[in-house]
Amino acid sequence: MLTGYPLLIAFIISVVILLVSIIKFKVNPFIAMLFTSIVTGFLVKMPINDIANTICAGFGNTLKSIGIVIGLGIIFGNILSEAGATEAIAKGLLKKTGNKNAALAVTTAGFLISIPVFLDAAFIIMMPIVKYVARATKKSIMVFVCALGVGTIVGHAIVIPTPGPLAVAANVDADIAGFLFYSIIAGFAAIIVGGWLYGKRFNRYPVYQTTEEDLENISTVKKIPTFGRSMLVLLFPIVLILLANVVTSIVAEGTLVYNIVSFIGEKDIALFLGCVFAYAFLHNYIEKDFNTVVTEAADSAGLILLITGAGGAFGNVLSTSGIGDYLVNAMGSMNISPIVLGFVLSALLRVSQGSTTVALVTTSSILGSAIAASGASPILVGLAICAGGIGFSLPNDSGFWVISRFAGISVSDTIKSWTIGGTIASCVVFAVVMLLSVINGVVPLPFL
């Protein structure tokens, strides 16, 4: 196989092929990544009999690590959505903050809801509520579009069990509880600055006038769960994961308590229990039967699983070829931190092809095997990769058009609110990661 500088040339050609396939020829990311994996194998002169095995091994190992939890995460989100728990969380937060800080409630609700519910669905679910609130508070819709858009993209890009950050954590071999803990800290900082504070600039825009259609959408006779019940369900699997990590750190290994807590805190089991808990507490609010809810979730999970697995396949080809090791050596000679490289690569992929998930999966696949050799914290590198996928949304991003269409705003206003707000949030997460890196170098932090 190739060695040295030619590996970098092969890597650049591979990325160009991937981007051209997706952007120019509109090839589905799953097919594009498989095709690029095959071409990369030939470019690095991998033995022809090893190419297929390397691709299959990467695909299988990735789904073995996170396939179950991706499926369970989508089922969990569908249960919350069908029960109206997402609406209850949004309304509950708005009630607690009042009109003055309604945008803070909106961005927080968007952040929380997009953890179990995919970004596009979270935004669509929230928009009728947001339009109503804009009229009630006599503020511009732009204030709340910015708040909601930034909140949903941050939750979507950095908090497990969303597929993108879940794949990142697996690819960089990061501790799940630690990754979750610091992602929530960085995420809240990002939505406050990018979603709430930046969104205040739109207060000078014209007040939004709610239409009759908006009022019909928000005024539903369907009974929804309480805010407390909905938040309890949402946080249940997250608390299990974090609690297990804390308890197992203070209880002797091998004891009954240790074994039980570590079992229920494992990500697959925690999310499975979360789904059971969610349906048990919310089934009275769901009109569809459980099998229908699961089937609908499984339908939407299929392509996500394929794309995630294909990203793992591409990453395994790059890892086996030695490209990852070469990048680490090159970084060492140029004094480039893996944290910085992860952020930059992810941001470049996000800008060029639009998809946050593809940017996260691809970047973490490229750098995953090389992080251990660099000595950097897998959690911080992983969060930097996630940060790069938050902002920089352009019209080649499907989320861009979801925001524009459902908010009823122009392309220019979408850029001002969603693109710029998201990019600010991206930089805030990256700044928090760099700060944590500096602090950890002086005073060791937990998980890191």
Helices 176-190, 141-158: axis angle to 10 degrees equals 160
pLDDT at 213: 52
What are the b/e assignments for 154-170, b being 16+ CB within 10 Å?
Answer: bbbbbbbbbbbbbbbbb
Distance from C-alpha of 372 to C-alpha of 282, rounded to nearest angstrom: 43
Radius of gyration of the chain (CA): 22
How many residues are given for the chain?
A: 448
The residue type of 61 is N
pLDDT at 117: 77
What's the DSSP call for residue 207?
A: P
Distance from C-alpha of 324 to C-alpha of 318, rounded to nearest angstrom: 6
Say how many CA atoms lie within 13 Å of 251 toward its Cβ: 15
Distance from C-alpha of 155 to C-alpha of 184, rounded to nearest angstrom: 9
pLDDT at 212: 54
Distance from C-alpha of 399 to C-alpha of 205, rounded to nearest angstrom: 23
pLDDT at 208: 65
Q: Sort 274 into a burial class: Cβ within 10 Å, 0-12 / 13-18 / 19+.
A: buried
What's the DSSP call for residue 173?
A: T
The residue type of 18 is L
pLDDT at 219: 46
Q: What percent of the chain has pLDDT over 70?
A: 95
> Tokens in use for 50?
């090893």
Collect the ranges in the chain with pLDDT lower than 50.
Answer: 219
- Nearest CA among 382, 364, 389, 360 for reference residue 436: 382
DSSP readout, 235-284? HHHHHHHHHHHHHHHHSPTTSHHHHHHHHHTSHHHHHHHHHHHHHHHHGG
The residue type of 326 is Y
Q: Sort 105 into a burial class: Cβ within 10 Å, 0-12 / 13-18 / 19+.
A: buried
Query: What is the distance between the terminal CA atoms of the chain, rounded to a whole angstrom?
Result: 36
> Tokens in use for 2?
């190739």
Any idea what the Cα angle at residue 309 is, between residues 185 and 299, rounded to 5°?
90
DSSP readout, 347-373? HHHHHHH--HHHHHHHHHHHHHHHHHH
Any idea what the Cα angle at residue 144 is, between residues 142 and 149, rounded to 5°?
95
- H helix or E strand, kind and range, residue 51: helix 48-83
